[in-house]
Amino acid sequence: MRNGLKIFTVAVMAAGLIVPAIAMAADYTIRASHSEAPESPLHKGYLVFKAYVEGASGGKIDVVISPAGQLGSITDGLEQAKAGAIQIAQGDEQTLDAFYKPMMILATPYLFADDEEARAFLTSDLFKKTNDEMAAKSGLRLLAAASYGFRDFTNNVRPIKSAADMKGIRMRVPPSPMSLAMVEAMGGSPTPIPWAELYGALQTGVVDGQENPLGVIYDYSFYQVQKYLTVDNHQLGLNSIIISEPFFQRLSPELREVVAVGAQMAAATEYGERNYQSRVVTVDALRKKGMEVYFPTPAESATFRDAVKGPMQAYLNKELDPAFVKAVYAEIEKIRAARASDVK
């Protein structure tokens, strides 16, 4: 009897282990792709997304993450999400316009004075409408976005404290019409140079300066060939979490909310760590390497924005609906006015 009871007990215990496993099988699988390393703040955000979505969905959604470009480039990932091969892909300010042109607005120099303005714009009714239109026309929806830092100027001629200080400086820029127009508007000499040749061009004096996020300036040792750094924050770096719209709409309203909240949590995780790195760790590291770091005052920052606003609007009006461009700038002004009112 004891052996029979023991066998029965083991069988019941085994059944108990098997049944929950069957009950917990996910109804949906989200395959998520991004291009950054497993140690990166972005990947940590994706891990938060996975933990939250799997838990908050009660096991109905399983999340599988492919980091470090395992599924291809950022553009490859977006193409796969559009085709439905994966469900979530990384986007950034340089790639989304290939899928929906009005998203090029996010790469406009000096559109945002800081991260808070960008966050307010991304939650505005205007951007929500633009996002809905992108979802309808491209099959891709932006769920959340996090700043990974702004591009800043370095050079060997002088500290750039206002737009006037750019005069005559040969500034390397990527082959972007907006970047060329930006430096020209401040009186500088924009010089497109391939990325692979940039360090040598700075070292030999072919150009006087360049512009990149602080992390890139440090990681690629530009401090060895550049003296002055101006944290002017002229172009927002924006990592976005993009979901396949057909997949998103197949989810119940409750699960859509879970996924959306998870994406916001992921973006907040990435932004928190990157903001600390760019504001504290990297700035201190560059100073220790001998760079002179300058943060423009609000009045000085306004000179940069004022110098490029006209040329940027003219370019955008050629590429996009002028009414949309006007609405974007009006929204930014409204955000600034509201923040100024809050301070008072």
**Residues 162-183, mean pLDDT to the nearest whole number:** 93
CATH assignment of the domain containing 216? 3.40.190.170
Output the pLDDT for position 6. 38
- Residue 30 confidence class, pLDDT cut points 50, 70, 90: very high
**Does the pLDDT value for residue 260 go beyond 90?**
yes
Output the pLDDT for position 279. 82
Residue 121 Cα to chain centre, angstroms? 14
Best CA proximity match to 172, nearest among 191, 157, 189, 156: 191
**Residues 73-97, mean pLDDT to the nearest whole number:** 95
Q: Range of 243's domain?
A: 2-343
Output the pLDDT for position 10. 35
Output the pLDDT for position 88. 98
- Residue 261 confidence class, pLDDT cut points 50, 70, 90: very high
pLDDT digits (tens, 9 = 90+) for 209-244: 999 989 889 988 999 999 999 999 999 989 999 999
**Does the pLDDT value for residue 135 go beyond 50?**
yes
Residue 184 Cα to chain centre, angstroms? 26
Task: Provide the token pair at 46.
Answer: 């994706």
Output the pLDDT for position 277. 86
**DSSP 3-state of 46:** helix
Output the pLDDT for position 24. 59
Task: Provide the token pair at 178.
Answer: 């907006």
The DSSP output letter for 24 is: T
The C-alpha atoms of residue 115 and residue 335 are separated, in whole angstroms, by 12
Output the pLDDT for position 3. 42
CA atoms within 13 A on the CB side of 336: 12
Percent over 70 (pLDDT), the chain:
93
pLDDT digits (tens, 9 = 90+) for 281-307: 999 999 999 999 999 999 999 999 999
Quote the pTM value. Answer: 0.85
The residue that leads in pLDDT, 45 or 178, is 45
Task: Provide the token pair at 18.
Answer: 């098997």
Number of independent structural domains in the chain: 1
